[in-house]
Amino acid sequence: MPQSLAQIYVHLVFSTKGREGLIAPEIQPRLHAYLAGTLNAIECPALVVGGMPDHVHMLFRLSRTLSLSDVVKAAKVESSKWMKEEGQFPNFSWQAGYGAFSVSASQVETVTHYIQNQEAHHATRTFQEEFRRMLELYQIDYNEAYVWD
């Protein structure tokens, strides 16, 4: 086959270092747009970006020429720089780790809705509870001691 084709959707989640609520509501739309722009610039089309003051969720199509770890690195590095400049947090940083979850084409709408409604989800559960639930739903083995930094 002379042509390489792929359609891989990824739901990426990561938090601020120490889960500090540094992403104020007034800056969230701009940060989310910046993250979407970063993904788009590296040929990983963003479908939706959302989150809360202590974490972000991104749903995007993975480029067929980039590794997931390269995409995560680009998103974190570029948005961290942006937050230091625009968000005026000179010590801003993201947690070292991340969660990445595959999404089937039939579930893109459901995940999009989930990301767009983060505020409602977090009225009753913390980021840690949400993340543990995602790990369990995807049957990912994890050690609690190493999930949070």
Higher pLDDT, 128 or 1: 128
- pLDDT-derived band at 89 (thresholds 50, 70, 90) equals confident
- Residue 57 burial by CB count (10 A; 0-12/13-18/19+): exposed, middle or buried? buried
| DSSP single-letter state for residue 97 | -
Q: What pLDDT was estimated at residue 87?
A: 67
pLDDT digits (tens, 9 = 90+) for 16-46: 999 999 999 999 999 999 999 999 999 999 9
Could you state, in order of their start, the residue ranges of all structural domains in the chain?
9-147
Write out the two tokens for 58: 């991104």
Find, among 42, 73, 77, the residue nearest to 60 by Cα: 42
* Residue 15, SS3 per DSSP: strand
Q: Which residues contact 42 (CB under 8 A, 6 or more apart)?
A: 63, 66, 70, 71, 74
Q: Can you tell me the distance from the alpha carbon of 134 to that of 99, in angstroms, rounded to the nearest whole number?
A: 9
Residues 6+ apart with CB under 8 A from 30: 86
Work out the average pLDDT over 50-63.
97
| CATH number for the segment(s) 9-147 | 3.30.70.1290
- pLDDT band, very low/low/confident/very high, at 126 (cuts 50, 70, 90): confident
**What is the distance between the alpha carbons of residues 47 and 59, in angstroms, rounded to a whole number?**
5
